[in-house]
């Protein structure tokens, strides 16, 4: 996937930003957006809308704003320093700190892989009646083969296109159902904490602001190998990277919101209890009729494969970074990181008795790790030694640290509600 962004001779590159030149800077944000409609997101959004109606839409808004700022900030690290987040952590932190932080990031990647593999397995069960555990094994093996052979590039555009069509289908369906738009508008901007909702709130946060995507975004950006000595090139990168990130994240916000709106207008309105991801196919019935279940399952399978692939790549980048190396699937450290994330994630699936609850909890775990990644990236991007004159401004530092503190407070509230 990174090879897609290496087709420019960076040393002799002369920027020309007319016409289609801008598209040479577009891509990483769209790749991250695939994670917006992964199985974990579908489960979290379905639960949020079905159990609490429109009242948790604010968390999608807040999470997306945070994601735009954080992804833009971590992309700056790759552009200005030529290092991904994992490499910079190893190079610029003391070993005991870097190993702890990157190990926690690996655990978050494992939790992500668990959700993505599980989503693909649920899809196989819907399509071919394959047991969840057997389906999870098939998804794991298939993704590992694709990653180790780089054959995923053949399917990549088709997967993203199909999953995007399903996401747009959710958006289109808003015109087919009776949405209480006044309640929706209130829900988008008014924070509320209904009784027993903290687990769902934090799962929505973890499903949107995924720690492994922060590591992956910085890896993709720096893998372009631009000419870091050319200040004009760097400034253009920073400008167009923000456009890429902003547009991509807003698309993700719209699709996530649509899922919650549809769940609120159907399951919450009829007081229908939701206890499995398969029930989400009913959201597509007005548009797709009797074929909704099949189309939903195929989309879920492709989504699971696509997001498992990116999760594995992020794990490879994190693990390779522990050894101060960039992601390279031909390198043993990258290959080992991929294997750890996918195989351990699969092993945990063997112990899960409730797949839907497993998806929700896996996303909540991501929110618990998130403050560590936020504070880490803010420390690195605020360093003049690492970023030079592109270090964070005072306003950026206040904003980013405030996000880290807010996520920490929400995590504490979650733990208090559980115990």
pLDDT tens for the 419 residues of the chain, in order = 444 334 434 444 444 444 444 444 444 455 566 666 778 888 899 999 999 999 999 999 999 999 889 988 998 888 888 888 999 999 999 999 999 999 999 999 999 999 999 999 999 999 999 999 999 999 999 999 989 987 666 666 666 676 677 777 778 888 878 899 999 999 999 999 999 899 999 999 988 888 888 898 777 765 544 445 556 666 666 666 677 778 778 888 988 899 899 899 988 988 888 888 888 777 777 776 777 778 778 878 888 888 898 899 999 999 999 999 988 889 999 999 999 999 999 999 999 989 988 999 998 899 999 999 999 999 999 999 999 888 999 999 999 999 999 999 999 998 888 77
Q: In sequence order, what are the residues at sequence separation of 6 or more whose Cβ sits closer than 8 angstroms to the Cβ of residue 14? A: none
Domain boundaries, the chain: 23-418
Give the whole-angstrom CA distance, residue 414 versus residue 405: 14
The token duo for 212 is 């492994």
What pLDDT is stored for residue 252 in this prediction?
A: 83
Q: In sequence order, what are the residues at sequence separation of 6 or more whose Cβ sits closer than 8 angstroms to the Cβ of residue 158? A: 302
Read off the pTM. 0.84
Give the whole-angstrom CA distance, residue 386 versus residue 372: 19
Instruction: Phi first, then psi: give them for residue 393, nearest 5 degrees.
Output: -75, 170
What pLDDT is stored for residue 292 in this prediction?
A: 74
Q: What is the DSSP string of 372-406?
A: HHHHHHHHHHT-HHHHGGGSPPHHHHHHHHHHHHH
What pLDDT is stored for residue 294 in this prediction?
A: 83
Residue 85's H or E segment, with its range, is helix 85-92
Looking at domain 23-418, its CATH architecture is Up-down Bundle (1.20)
Single out the residue of 174, 236, 173, 199 nearest to residue 22, CA to CA: 236
Q: How many CB atoms lie within 10 A of CB 11?
A: 10
Q: In sequence order, what are the residues at sequence separation of 6 or more whose Cβ sits closer than 8 angstroms to the Cβ of residue 10? A: 224, 225, 226, 227, 233
Mark 336-375 as b/e (b = at least 16 C-beta within 10 Å). Answer: ebbbbbbebbbebbeebeebbebbbbbbbbbbbbbbbbbb
What pLDDT is stored for residue 31 in this prediction?
A: 58
What pLDDT is stored for residue 155 in this prediction?
A: 62
Alpha-helix residue ranges (DSSP H) falling in 190-284 = 198-208, 211-222, 231-263
What pLDDT is stored for residue 234 in this prediction?
A: 63
What does each C-alpha distance from 227 to 196, 281, 321 come to in angstroms? 51, 47, 22
């Amino acid at each position: 996937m990174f090879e897609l962004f290496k087709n420019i001779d960076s040393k002799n590159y002369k920027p020309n930003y007319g016409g289609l030149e801008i598209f040479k800077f577009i891509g990483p944000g769209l790749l991250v957006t695939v994670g917006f409609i992964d199985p974990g997101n579908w489960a979290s959004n379905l639960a949020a809308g079905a159990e609490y109606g429109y009242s948790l839409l604010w968390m999608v808004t807040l999470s997306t704003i945070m994601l735009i700022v954080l992804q833009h900030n971590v992309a700056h690290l790759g552009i200005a320093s030529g290092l991904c987040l994992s490499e910079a952590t190893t190079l610029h932190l003391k070993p005991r700190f870097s190993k702890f932080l990157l190990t926690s990031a690996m655990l978050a990647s494992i939790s992500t892989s668990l959700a993505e593999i599980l989503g693909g397995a649920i899809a196989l069960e819907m399509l071919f009646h394959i047991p969840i555990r057997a389906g999870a094994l098939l998804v794991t093996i298939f993704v590992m083969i694709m990653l180790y052979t780089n054959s995923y590039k053949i399917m990549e555009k088709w997967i993203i296109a199909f999953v995007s069509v399903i996401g747009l289908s959710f958006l289109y369906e808003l015109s087919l159902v009776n949405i209480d738009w006044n309640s929706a508008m209130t829900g988008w901007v008014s924070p509320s904490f209904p009784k027993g909702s903290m687990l769902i709130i934090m799962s929505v946060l973890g499903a949107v602001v995924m720690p492994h995507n922060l590591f992956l975004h910085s890896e993709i950006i720096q893998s372009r190998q631009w000419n870091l000595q050319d200040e004009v090139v760097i400034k253009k990168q920073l400008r167009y990277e923000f456009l890429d990130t902003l547009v991509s994240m807003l698309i993700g916000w719209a699709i996530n919101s649509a899922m919650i709106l549809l769940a609120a207008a159907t399951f919450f309105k009829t007081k229908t209890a939701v206890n499995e991801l398969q029930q989400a196919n009913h959201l597509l019935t007005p548009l797709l009729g009797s074929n909704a279940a099949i189309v939903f399952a195929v989309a879920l399978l492709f989504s699971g494969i696509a997001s498992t692939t990116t999760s594995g790549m992020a794990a490879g980048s994190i693990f390779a970074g522990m050894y101060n190396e960039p992601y390279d699937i031909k390198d043993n450290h990258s290959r080992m990181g991929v294997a750890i994330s996918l195989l351990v994630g699969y092993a945990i699936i063997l112990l899960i008795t409730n797949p839907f609850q497993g998806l929700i909890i896996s996303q909540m775990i991501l929110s618990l790790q998130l403050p560590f990644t936020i504070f880490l990236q803010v420390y690195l991007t605020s360093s003049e030694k690492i970023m030079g004159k592109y270090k964070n401004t005072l306003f950026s530092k206040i904003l980013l640290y405030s996000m880290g503190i807010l996520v920490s407070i929400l995590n504490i509230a979650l733990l208090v509600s559980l115990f």
